[in-house]
Amino acid sequence: MKSAPYDIVIPTVGRASLVETLCALRVGAGPAPERVLLVDDRAGHPPPLPLPADLGILTGRVEVHRRGGGGPAAARNVGWRAATAPWIVFLDDDVVPTADWATDLMRDLAACAAGSQGRIVVPLPKHRRATDWERNVAGLAHASWATADMAYRRSALAEVGGFDVRFPRAYREDADLGLRMTSAGHAITVGRRTVLHPVRPAPWHVSIGKQAGNVDDALMDRLHGSGWRRRAGAPRGDRRRHLATTAVAGAAVAARVGRRRRLARLLALAWAGLVGELAVRRVRPGPRTPSEVAAMVVTSAALGPAATVAYLGGLVRARRLVGEGGGPDQVAVGSQRSDPVEAVLFDRDGTLIVDVPYNGDPDRVAPMPAARAALDRLRGAGLPVAIVSNQSGVARGMLELAEVDAVNDRVVELLGPFSAVVVCPHGPDDGCPGRKPGPGMVQRAAAELGVPPSRCVVVGDIGADVEAAQAAGARAILVPTDVTRPQEIEAAPVVVDDIAVAVDLVLAGTVSR
Protein backbone atom coordinates (compact mmCIF):
# COMPACT_ATOMS: atom_id res chain seq x y z
CA MET A 1 0.00 0.00 0.00
CA LYS A 2 1.38 3.40 -1.02
CA SER A 3 2.04 5.81 1.84
CA ALA A 4 0.44 9.26 1.82
CA PRO A 5 2.67 11.98 3.31
CA TYR A 6 0.93 13.63 6.24
CA ASP A 7 1.57 16.15 8.99
CA ILE A 8 -0.09 16.00 12.40
CA VAL A 9 -1.39 19.19 14.05
CA ILE A 10 -2.11 19.11 17.78
CA PRO A 11 -3.37 22.25 19.55
CA THR A 12 -2.51 22.03 23.22
CA VAL A 13 -2.90 23.86 26.49
CA GLY A 14 -0.06 21.92 28.08
CA ARG A 15 -2.08 19.09 29.58
CA ALA A 16 -0.07 16.14 30.90
CA SER A 17 -2.06 13.92 28.54
CA LEU A 18 -0.03 15.36 25.64
CA VAL A 19 2.85 13.09 26.68
CA GLU A 20 0.57 10.06 26.41
CA THR A 21 -0.56 11.15 22.94
CA LEU A 22 3.01 11.56 21.69
CA CYS A 23 4.15 8.30 23.30
CA ALA A 24 1.41 6.42 21.44
CA LEU A 25 2.48 8.01 18.15
CA ARG A 26 6.17 7.26 18.66
CA VAL A 27 5.70 3.51 19.12
CA GLY A 28 2.85 2.84 16.68
CA ALA A 29 3.19 0.81 13.51
CA GLY A 30 2.95 2.34 10.06
CA PRO A 31 4.61 5.33 8.38
CA ALA A 32 5.61 8.23 10.61
CA PRO A 33 4.27 11.72 9.96
CA GLU A 34 6.44 14.19 8.09
CA ARG A 35 6.08 16.55 11.05
CA VAL A 36 4.13 16.86 14.28
CA LEU A 37 3.19 20.50 14.81
CA LEU A 38 2.30 21.26 18.43
CA VAL A 39 0.55 24.62 18.70
CA ASP A 40 0.95 25.95 22.23
CA ASP A 41 -2.32 27.76 22.98
CA ARG A 42 -1.44 28.92 26.49
CA ALA A 43 -1.58 32.64 27.14
CA GLY A 44 1.23 34.62 28.73
CA HIS A 45 4.68 33.15 29.22
CA PRO A 46 4.10 29.51 30.17
CA PRO A 47 6.80 26.93 30.89
CA PRO A 48 7.91 24.57 28.11
CA LEU A 49 5.41 21.97 26.98
CA PRO A 50 5.62 18.53 28.59
CA LEU A 51 7.25 16.24 26.03
CA PRO A 52 8.49 12.64 26.28
CA ALA A 53 12.19 12.30 26.96
CA ASP A 54 12.44 9.81 24.08
CA LEU A 55 10.45 10.72 20.97
CA GLY A 56 11.36 7.53 19.11
CA ILE A 57 10.39 7.74 15.44
CA LEU A 58 9.20 11.31 16.04
CA THR A 59 12.72 12.51 16.82
CA GLY A 60 13.49 15.58 14.72
CA ARG A 61 9.88 15.76 13.52
CA VAL A 62 8.23 17.61 16.43
CA GLU A 63 7.87 21.40 16.20
CA VAL A 64 6.33 23.73 18.76
CA HIS A 65 4.53 26.85 17.53
CA ARG A 66 3.48 29.51 20.04
CA ARG A 67 0.13 31.20 19.53
CA GLY A 68 -1.13 32.32 22.88
CA GLY A 69 -4.65 31.76 24.13
CA GLY A 70 -7.11 32.39 21.28
CA GLY A 71 -8.77 28.98 21.15
CA PRO A 72 -8.38 25.73 19.22
CA ALA A 73 -9.75 27.01 15.89
CA ALA A 74 -7.03 29.63 15.64
CA ALA A 75 -4.42 27.18 16.94
CA ARG A 76 -5.31 24.62 14.28
CA ASN A 77 -5.04 27.34 11.62
CA VAL A 78 -1.52 28.11 12.80
CA GLY A 79 -0.67 24.42 12.55
CA TRP A 80 -2.03 23.58 9.10
CA ARG A 81 -0.71 26.79 7.57
CA ALA A 82 2.75 25.90 8.86
CA ALA A 83 2.40 22.34 7.55
CA THR A 84 3.66 21.31 4.12
CA ALA A 85 2.38 17.75 3.62
CA PRO A 86 -0.63 17.22 1.32
CA TRP A 87 -2.63 15.68 4.18
CA ILE A 88 -3.18 17.33 7.56
CA VAL A 89 -4.32 15.17 10.48
CA PHE A 90 -5.75 16.99 13.48
CA LEU A 91 -5.52 15.28 16.85
CA ASP A 92 -6.47 16.55 20.31
CA ASP A 93 -3.89 16.56 23.08
CA ASP A 94 -5.93 14.12 25.18
CA VAL A 95 -6.42 11.21 22.77
CA VAL A 96 -4.39 8.01 22.52
CA PRO A 97 -3.94 6.59 19.00
CA THR A 98 -4.02 2.80 18.89
CA ALA A 99 -1.00 0.73 17.82
CA ASP A 100 -2.26 0.36 14.23
CA TRP A 101 -3.44 3.96 13.91
CA ALA A 102 -0.88 5.07 11.30
CA THR A 103 -1.32 1.90 9.23
CA ASP A 104 -5.09 2.33 9.22
CA LEU A 105 -4.66 6.03 8.42
CA MET A 106 -2.94 5.13 5.15
CA ARG A 107 -5.92 2.95 4.17
CA ASP A 108 -8.33 5.72 5.16
CA LEU A 109 -6.54 8.38 3.12
CA ALA A 110 -6.30 6.10 0.10
CA ALA A 111 -10.08 5.63 0.20
CA CYS A 112 -11.11 9.29 0.42
CA ALA A 113 -10.72 12.43 -1.65
CA ALA A 114 -10.78 15.32 0.78
CA GLY A 115 -11.65 14.38 4.36
CA SER A 116 -11.47 11.34 6.63
CA GLN A 117 -12.86 11.05 10.13
CA GLY A 118 -11.29 8.66 12.62
CA ARG A 119 -13.21 6.54 15.08
CA ILE A 120 -13.27 7.74 18.69
CA VAL A 121 -13.67 5.22 21.51
CA VAL A 122 -14.43 6.56 24.99
CA PRO A 123 -13.63 3.90 27.63
CA LEU A 124 -16.31 3.88 30.33
CA PRO A 125 -16.13 2.16 33.72
CA LYS A 126 -17.25 -1.47 33.67
CA HIS A 127 -17.82 -1.86 37.41
CA ARG A 128 -20.50 0.85 37.69
CA ARG A 129 -22.82 3.05 35.67
CA ALA A 130 -21.34 6.08 33.96
CA THR A 131 -21.75 9.52 35.51
CA ASP A 132 -23.41 12.40 33.70
CA TRP A 133 -19.99 13.81 32.75
CA GLU A 134 -18.75 10.45 31.50
CA ARG A 135 -21.84 10.04 29.33
CA ASN A 136 -21.30 13.54 27.98
CA VAL A 137 -17.73 12.71 26.89
CA ALA A 138 -18.91 9.39 25.45
CA GLY A 139 -21.02 11.38 22.99
CA LEU A 140 -17.80 12.04 21.05
CA ALA A 141 -18.01 8.48 19.74
CA HIS A 142 -21.04 9.50 17.67
CA ALA A 143 -20.00 13.07 16.75
CA SER A 144 -19.59 13.96 13.09
CA TRP A 145 -16.33 15.58 11.93
CA ALA A 146 -14.82 15.73 15.43
CA THR A 147 -11.29 17.11 15.24
CA ALA A 148 -10.18 14.79 18.03
CA ASP A 149 -9.08 12.75 14.96
CA MET A 150 -9.83 14.36 11.61
CA ALA A 151 -7.80 14.40 8.38
CA TYR A 152 -8.20 16.90 5.53
CA ARG A 153 -6.33 17.57 2.33
CA ARG A 154 -4.36 20.76 2.77
CA SER A 155 -5.67 22.05 -0.56
CA ALA A 156 -9.26 21.60 0.64
CA LEU A 157 -8.50 23.47 3.87
CA ALA A 158 -6.96 26.30 1.86
CA GLU A 159 -9.98 26.41 -0.44
CA VAL A 160 -12.47 26.98 2.39
CA GLY A 161 -10.11 29.08 4.51
CA GLY A 162 -9.55 26.64 7.37
CA PHE A 163 -11.23 26.98 10.75
CA ASP A 164 -13.38 29.99 11.58
CA VAL A 165 -11.71 31.86 14.45
CA ARG A 166 -15.07 33.30 15.47
CA PHE A 167 -15.56 29.99 17.31
CA PRO A 168 -13.28 30.53 20.33
CA ARG A 169 -13.87 27.21 22.13
CA ALA A 170 -13.63 23.53 21.28
CA TYR A 171 -17.27 22.97 20.50
CA ARG A 172 -18.72 23.90 17.09
CA GLU A 173 -15.63 24.87 15.10
CA ASP A 174 -15.40 21.35 13.69
CA ALA A 175 -19.07 21.20 12.64
CA ASP A 176 -18.75 24.62 10.98
CA LEU A 177 -15.73 23.46 8.98
CA GLY A 178 -17.45 20.20 8.04
CA LEU A 179 -20.50 22.06 6.74
CA ARG A 180 -18.34 24.38 4.66
CA MET A 181 -16.34 21.45 3.33
CA THR A 182 -19.39 19.47 2.27
CA SER A 183 -21.13 22.52 0.81
CA ALA A 184 -17.99 23.06 -1.30
CA GLY A 185 -18.45 19.56 -2.71
CA HIS A 186 -15.85 17.74 -0.59
CA ALA A 187 -16.93 14.36 0.76
CA ILE A 188 -15.96 13.39 4.30
CA THR A 189 -15.77 9.65 4.95
CA VAL A 190 -15.48 7.65 8.18
CA GLY A 191 -12.25 5.68 8.34
CA ARG A 192 -11.17 2.60 10.28
CA ARG A 193 -8.37 4.11 12.39
CA THR A 194 -9.14 4.50 16.09
CA VAL A 195 -8.13 6.73 18.96
CA LEU A 196 -9.04 6.29 22.60
CA HIS A 197 -10.43 9.33 24.40
CA PRO A 198 -10.21 8.72 28.15
CA VAL A 199 -12.59 10.66 30.37
CA ARG A 200 -10.51 13.23 32.22
CA PRO A 201 -11.48 14.40 35.73
CA ALA A 202 -13.86 17.34 35.88
CA PRO A 203 -15.46 19.34 38.73
CA TRP A 204 -18.99 18.46 39.81
CA HIS A 205 -20.35 21.65 38.21
CA VAL A 206 -18.75 21.05 34.80
CA SER A 207 -22.16 20.87 33.09
CA ILE A 208 -22.86 24.52 33.97
CA GLY A 209 -19.69 25.73 32.28
CA LYS A 210 -20.51 23.64 29.22
CA GLN A 211 -23.56 25.84 28.60
CA ALA A 212 -21.18 28.43 27.14
CA GLY A 213 -21.45 26.36 23.96
CA ASN A 214 -24.84 28.02 23.39
CA VAL A 215 -22.88 31.10 22.29
CA ASP A 216 -21.46 29.08 19.41
CA ASP A 217 -24.85 27.56 18.59
CA ALA A 218 -26.23 31.06 18.03
CA LEU A 219 -23.42 31.74 15.56
CA MET A 220 -24.05 28.41 13.83
CA ASP A 221 -27.73 29.34 13.42
CA ARG A 222 -26.70 32.63 11.89
CA LEU A 223 -24.10 31.16 9.54
CA HIS A 224 -25.76 27.94 8.44
CA GLY A 225 -29.48 28.28 9.04
CA SER A 226 -31.79 26.50 11.47
CA GLY A 227 -31.29 23.10 9.80
CA TRP A 228 -27.56 22.85 10.38
CA ARG A 229 -27.92 20.28 13.17
CA ARG A 230 -29.57 17.79 10.86
CA ARG A 231 -26.92 18.29 8.18
CA ALA A 232 -24.11 18.02 10.73
CA GLY A 233 -25.61 15.08 12.60
CA ALA A 234 -25.67 17.08 15.84
CA PRO A 235 -28.30 16.33 18.53
CA ARG A 236 -30.64 19.20 19.31
CA GLY A 237 -29.98 19.21 23.04
CA ASP A 238 -32.09 20.88 25.73
CA ARG A 239 -31.76 24.54 24.80
CA ARG A 240 -35.47 25.07 24.15
CA ARG A 241 -36.32 23.46 27.46
CA HIS A 242 -33.72 25.59 29.25
CA LEU A 243 -35.17 28.74 27.69
CA ALA A 244 -38.70 27.72 28.75
CA THR A 245 -37.60 26.87 32.29
CA THR A 246 -35.84 30.21 32.65
CA ALA A 247 -38.86 32.05 31.28
CA VAL A 248 -41.09 30.36 33.88
CA ALA A 249 -38.66 31.30 36.65
CA GLY A 250 -38.58 34.90 35.43
CA ALA A 251 -42.37 35.02 35.30
CA ALA A 252 -42.55 33.68 38.87
CA VAL A 253 -40.21 36.40 40.11
CA ALA A 254 -42.20 39.06 38.23
CA ALA A 255 -45.45 37.79 39.71
CA ARG A 256 -43.94 37.83 43.20
CA VAL A 257 -42.69 41.40 42.74
CA GLY A 258 -46.14 42.35 41.45
CA ARG A 259 -47.68 40.82 44.60
CA ARG A 260 -49.59 38.24 42.62
CA ARG A 261 -48.72 35.58 45.16
CA ARG A 262 -51.02 32.82 43.95
CA LEU A 263 -49.70 33.10 40.40
CA ALA A 264 -46.14 33.29 41.74
CA ARG A 265 -46.64 30.04 43.71
CA LEU A 266 -48.08 28.26 40.68
CA LEU A 267 -45.21 29.40 38.48
CA ALA A 268 -42.68 28.43 41.12
CA LEU A 269 -44.20 24.95 41.30
CA ALA A 270 -44.06 24.72 37.50
CA TRP A 271 -40.38 25.72 37.57
CA ALA A 272 -39.63 23.16 40.29
CA GLY A 273 -41.39 20.49 38.26
CA LEU A 274 -39.35 21.29 35.13
CA VAL A 275 -36.08 21.30 37.10
CA GLY A 276 -37.04 18.11 38.95
CA GLU A 277 -37.90 16.27 35.76
CA LEU A 278 -34.53 17.26 34.27
CA ALA A 279 -32.69 16.15 37.41
CA VAL A 280 -34.47 12.78 37.42
CA ARG A 281 -33.66 12.29 33.74
CA ARG A 282 -29.97 12.93 34.45
CA VAL A 283 -29.83 10.85 37.63
CA ARG A 284 -31.68 7.74 36.34
CA PRO A 285 -28.95 6.34 34.01
CA GLY A 286 -26.10 7.22 36.38
CA PRO A 287 -24.51 5.61 39.44
CA ARG A 288 -27.05 7.32 41.77
CA THR A 289 -24.49 7.93 44.49
CA PRO A 290 -25.30 10.70 46.98
CA SER A 291 -22.68 13.01 45.49
CA GLU A 292 -23.88 12.41 41.93
CA VAL A 293 -27.54 12.96 42.88
CA ALA A 294 -26.70 16.18 44.74
CA ALA A 295 -24.67 17.47 41.79
CA MET A 296 -27.47 16.68 39.35
CA VAL A 297 -30.10 18.47 41.47
CA VAL A 298 -28.02 21.63 41.97
CA THR A 299 -26.74 21.87 38.42
CA SER A 300 -30.17 21.12 36.91
CA ALA A 301 -31.46 24.27 38.61
CA ALA A 302 -28.58 26.31 37.19
CA LEU A 303 -28.50 24.94 33.65
CA GLY A 304 -31.51 26.95 32.45
CA PRO A 305 -30.19 30.42 33.37
CA ALA A 306 -26.66 29.54 32.22
CA ALA A 307 -27.87 28.31 28.83
CA THR A 308 -30.24 31.26 28.37
CA VAL A 309 -27.67 33.92 29.19
CA ALA A 310 -25.13 32.27 26.90
CA TYR A 311 -27.54 31.91 23.98
CA LEU A 312 -28.90 35.46 24.22
CA GLY A 313 -25.35 36.81 24.42
CA GLY A 314 -24.49 34.59 21.47
CA LEU A 315 -27.33 36.09 19.42
CA VAL A 316 -25.94 39.59 19.96
CA ARG A 317 -22.42 38.42 19.19
CA ALA A 318 -23.49 36.53 16.05
CA ARG A 319 -25.38 39.54 14.73
CA ARG A 320 -22.30 41.71 15.23
CA LEU A 321 -19.92 39.20 13.64
CA VAL A 322 -22.03 38.16 10.67
CA GLY A 323 -23.76 41.46 9.87
CA GLU A 324 -27.19 42.96 10.03
CA GLY A 325 -28.79 41.39 6.96
CA GLY A 326 -31.02 38.34 6.96
CA GLY A 327 -32.15 35.92 9.62
CA PRO A 328 -30.74 32.48 10.27
CA ASP A 329 -33.08 30.76 7.88
CA GLN A 330 -32.00 33.08 5.08
CA VAL A 331 -28.30 32.36 5.44
CA ALA A 332 -27.09 29.82 2.90
CA VAL A 333 -25.03 26.88 4.03
CA GLY A 334 -21.34 27.70 3.73
CA SER A 335 -21.96 31.41 3.34
CA GLN A 336 -19.35 32.42 5.88
CA ARG A 337 -16.89 33.97 3.41
CA SER A 338 -16.45 33.26 -0.26
CA ASP A 339 -12.84 34.40 -0.17
CA PRO A 340 -11.51 34.24 3.42
CA VAL A 341 -8.52 36.23 4.60
CA GLU A 342 -5.39 34.13 5.12
CA ALA A 343 -2.74 36.83 5.71
CA VAL A 344 -2.43 40.52 6.59
CA LEU A 345 0.33 42.69 5.10
CA PHE A 346 1.25 45.97 6.79
CA ASP A 347 2.96 49.08 5.56
CA ARG A 348 5.69 49.91 8.04
CA ASP A 349 6.22 53.67 8.41
CA GLY A 350 3.12 55.53 9.53
CA THR A 351 1.17 52.31 10.04
CA LEU A 352 3.16 50.11 12.42
CA ILE A 353 5.74 52.65 13.59
CA VAL A 354 5.89 56.43 13.74
CA ASP A 355 7.10 57.75 10.38
CA VAL A 356 10.64 59.14 10.67
CA PRO A 357 11.70 60.01 7.11
CA TYR A 358 14.64 57.94 5.86
CA ASN A 359 15.30 56.53 9.30
CA GLY A 360 18.32 54.25 9.66
CA ASP A 361 18.60 54.46 13.45
CA PRO A 362 16.96 51.63 15.41
CA ASP A 363 16.84 53.83 18.52
CA ARG A 364 14.37 56.16 16.78
CA VAL A 365 11.82 53.40 16.18
CA ALA A 366 8.56 54.04 18.06
CA PRO A 367 5.49 51.81 17.60
CA MET A 368 2.19 53.35 16.63
CA PRO A 369 -0.44 53.20 19.38
CA ALA A 370 -2.18 49.80 19.63
CA ALA A 371 0.06 48.27 16.93
CA ARG A 372 1.45 45.48 19.11
CA ALA A 373 -1.97 44.53 20.48
CA ALA A 374 -3.47 44.50 16.98
CA LEU A 375 -0.68 42.30 15.61
CA ASP A 376 -0.95 39.91 18.55
CA ARG A 377 -4.68 39.51 17.93
CA LEU A 378 -4.00 38.48 14.35
CA ARG A 379 -1.24 36.11 15.42
CA GLY A 380 -3.55 34.71 18.08
CA ALA A 381 -6.17 34.09 15.40
CA GLY A 382 -3.68 32.08 13.37
CA LEU A 383 -3.22 34.69 10.63
CA PRO A 384 0.35 35.34 9.44
CA VAL A 385 1.43 38.98 9.36
CA ALA A 386 4.03 40.58 7.09
CA ILE A 387 5.62 43.94 6.32
CA VAL A 388 5.72 45.51 2.83
CA SER A 389 7.71 48.75 2.86
CA ASN A 390 9.03 51.24 0.33
CA GLN A 391 12.56 52.33 1.28
CA SER A 392 13.55 54.80 -1.41
CA GLY A 393 16.17 56.29 0.91
CA VAL A 394 18.48 53.51 -0.30
CA ALA A 395 18.12 54.63 -3.93
CA ARG A 396 18.59 58.26 -2.88
CA GLY A 397 21.84 57.43 -1.08
CA MET A 398 20.42 58.42 2.29
CA LEU A 399 20.32 54.88 3.71
CA GLU A 400 22.19 51.61 3.48
CA LEU A 401 20.31 48.32 3.23
CA ALA A 402 22.06 47.25 6.41
CA GLU A 403 20.47 50.22 8.20
CA VAL A 404 17.04 49.29 6.84
CA ASP A 405 17.58 45.76 8.15
CA ALA A 406 18.62 47.10 11.56
CA VAL A 407 15.46 49.18 11.80
CA ASN A 408 13.37 46.16 10.78
CA ASP A 409 15.08 44.08 13.44
CA ARG A 410 14.08 46.70 16.00
CA VAL A 411 10.49 46.62 14.72
CA VAL A 412 10.43 42.86 15.27
CA GLU A 413 11.89 43.32 18.73
CA LEU A 414 9.13 45.78 19.67
CA LEU A 415 6.16 44.38 17.78
CA GLY A 416 6.84 40.65 17.63
CA PRO A 417 7.68 38.26 14.79
CA PHE A 418 6.56 38.67 11.17
CA SER A 419 6.21 35.80 8.74
CA ALA A 420 7.72 37.90 5.95
CA VAL A 421 9.45 41.28 5.63
CA VAL A 422 9.59 42.60 2.07
CA VAL A 423 11.38 45.85 1.23
CA CYS A 424 11.78 47.75 -2.04
CA PRO A 425 14.93 49.92 -2.08
CA HIS A 426 14.12 51.62 -5.39
CA GLY A 427 13.05 55.20 -5.98
CA PRO A 428 9.93 56.48 -7.72
CA ASP A 429 11.79 57.07 -10.99
CA ASP A 430 13.39 53.61 -11.18
CA GLY A 431 10.34 51.96 -12.75
CA CYS A 432 10.38 49.06 -10.28
CA PRO A 433 7.07 47.12 -10.29
CA GLY A 434 7.78 46.03 -6.75
CA ARG A 435 7.62 49.54 -5.37
CA LYS A 436 4.17 50.55 -4.14
CA PRO A 437 1.80 51.46 -5.80
CA GLY A 438 3.04 48.56 -7.96
CA PRO A 439 1.89 45.06 -7.01
CA GLY A 440 5.31 43.41 -6.71
CA MET A 441 5.87 43.52 -2.95
CA VAL A 442 2.34 42.36 -2.20
CA GLN A 443 2.73 39.47 -4.63
CA ARG A 444 6.12 38.53 -3.22
CA ALA A 445 4.92 38.61 0.39
CA ALA A 446 1.90 36.49 -0.52
CA ALA A 447 4.17 33.98 -2.25
CA GLU A 448 6.47 33.78 0.79
CA LEU A 449 3.43 33.14 3.00
CA GLY A 450 2.05 30.52 0.61
CA VAL A 451 -1.31 32.24 0.10
CA PRO A 452 -2.84 33.86 -3.00
CA PRO A 453 -2.89 37.68 -3.03
CA SER A 454 -6.69 37.56 -3.24
CA ARG A 455 -6.72 36.23 0.32
CA CYS A 456 -4.47 38.96 1.68
CA VAL A 457 -5.43 42.29 3.24
CA VAL A 458 -3.01 45.21 2.99
CA VAL A 459 -3.17 47.80 5.78
CA GLY A 460 -1.50 51.14 5.12
CA ASP A 461 -1.72 54.87 5.62
CA ILE A 462 -1.48 56.31 2.09
CA GLY A 463 -3.01 55.76 -1.33
CA ALA A 464 0.03 53.87 -2.64
CA ASP A 465 -0.67 51.09 -0.13
CA VAL A 466 -4.25 50.80 -1.34
CA GLU A 467 -3.26 50.90 -5.01
CA ALA A 468 -0.60 48.23 -4.53
CA ALA A 469 -3.17 45.94 -2.91
CA GLN A 470 -5.68 46.52 -5.70
CA ALA A 471 -3.06 45.99 -8.41
CA ALA A 472 -2.15 42.63 -6.85
CA GLY A 473 -5.77 41.53 -6.38
CA ALA A 474 -5.66 41.90 -2.59
CA ARG A 475 -8.00 43.80 -0.31
CA ALA A 476 -7.00 47.06 1.36
CA ILE A 477 -7.74 49.01 4.52
CA LEU A 478 -6.61 52.63 4.81
CA VAL A 479 -5.73 53.97 8.27
CA PRO A 480 -5.20 57.70 7.57
CA THR A 481 -2.61 59.86 9.30
CA ASP A 482 -1.73 63.54 8.96
CA VAL A 483 0.10 62.84 5.68
CA THR A 484 -2.83 61.06 4.02
CA ARG A 485 -4.37 63.21 1.29
CA PRO A 486 -8.17 63.74 1.17
CA GLN A 487 -8.40 62.24 -2.31
CA GLU A 488 -6.67 59.09 -1.05
CA ILE A 489 -9.24 58.74 1.71
CA GLU A 490 -12.08 59.28 -0.75
CA ALA A 491 -10.72 56.65 -3.16
CA ALA A 492 -10.03 53.94 -0.57
CA PRO A 493 -12.58 51.08 -0.40
CA VAL A 494 -12.30 50.76 3.41
CA VAL A 495 -11.22 53.56 5.76
CA VAL A 496 -10.96 53.18 9.55
CA ASP A 497 -9.72 55.38 12.35
CA ASP A 498 -7.04 53.10 13.78
CA ILE A 499 -5.30 49.79 13.35
CA ALA A 500 -7.40 48.09 16.04
CA VAL A 501 -10.58 48.66 14.02
CA ALA A 502 -8.82 47.34 10.92
CA VAL A 503 -8.11 44.10 12.77
CA ASP A 504 -11.73 43.95 13.93
CA LEU A 505 -12.83 43.99 10.30
CA VAL A 506 -10.30 41.33 9.28
CA LEU A 507 -11.30 38.97 12.08
CA ALA A 508 -15.00 39.51 11.39
CA GLY A 509 -14.46 38.67 7.71
CA THR A 510 -16.08 41.90 6.50
CA VAL A 511 -13.29 43.53 4.47
CA SER A 512 -14.70 44.40 1.06
CA ARG A 513 -12.68 44.93 -2.09
Where exactly does CATH 3.90.550.10 map onto the chain?
6-202
Residue 234 pLDDT class (50, 70, 90 cuts)? confident
Contact 117, 150 (CB under 8 A): yes
The whole-angstrom separation of Cα 460 and Cα 479 is 6
pLDDT in the model for residue 68 = 64
Rounded to whole angstroms, how far apart are CA atoms 70 and 152?
Answer: 22
What pLDDT score does 442 carry? 95
In the chain, ranges of CATH 3.40.50.1000 domains = 343-508
pLDDT at 368 over 90: yes
- 22-25 long-range CB contacts below 8 Å, 24 or more apart? 22/51, 22/52, 22/55, 22/58, 22/62, 23/52, 24/96, 24/97, 24/98, 24/101, 25/58, 25/97, 25/101, 25/102
More confident residue, 411 or 158: 411
d(CA 399, CA 403): 6
Average pLDDT of every residue of the chain: 90
Percent of the chain surpassing pLDDT 70: 95
Strands annotated E in 42-157: 62-66, 87-91, 96-97, 115-121, 149-153
> How sure is the predictor about 158, in pLDDT bands with cuts at 50, 70 and 90?
confident
* Residues annotated as part of the active site: 347, 349
**Assigned CATH topology for domain 6-202:** Spore Coat Polysaccharide Biosynthesis Protein SpsA; Chain A (3.90.550)
The torsion angles phi and psi of 504, rounded to 5 degrees, stand at -55, -45
Q: Which CATH architecture has domain 343-508?
A: 3-Layer(aba) Sandwich (3.40)
Angstrom distance (rounded) from CA 123 to CA 200:
11
The predicted structure's pLDDT at residue 339: 64
Q: What pLDDT was estimated at residue 513?
A: 66
Q: What percent of the chain has pLDDT over 90?
A: 68
Sequence-distant (≥ 6) Cβ neighbours of residue 297 within 8 angstroms: 279, 283
Query: Which run of H or of E encompasses 442?
Result: helix 440-449
* Stretch among 52-56, 192-196, 271-275, 303-307 having the lowest mean pLDDT: 52-56
pLDDT for 67 equals 66
Average pLDDT, stretch 112-137? 95
Of 465, 172, 445, 474, the residue nearest 341 (C-alpha)? 474
pLDDT (tens digit per residue) in 75-100 = 898 889 888 899 999 999 999 999 99
Report whether pLDDT(1) > 80.
no
pLDDT digits (tens, 9 = 90+) for 317-361: 888 777 533 332 333 333 334 467 889 999 999 999 999 999 999
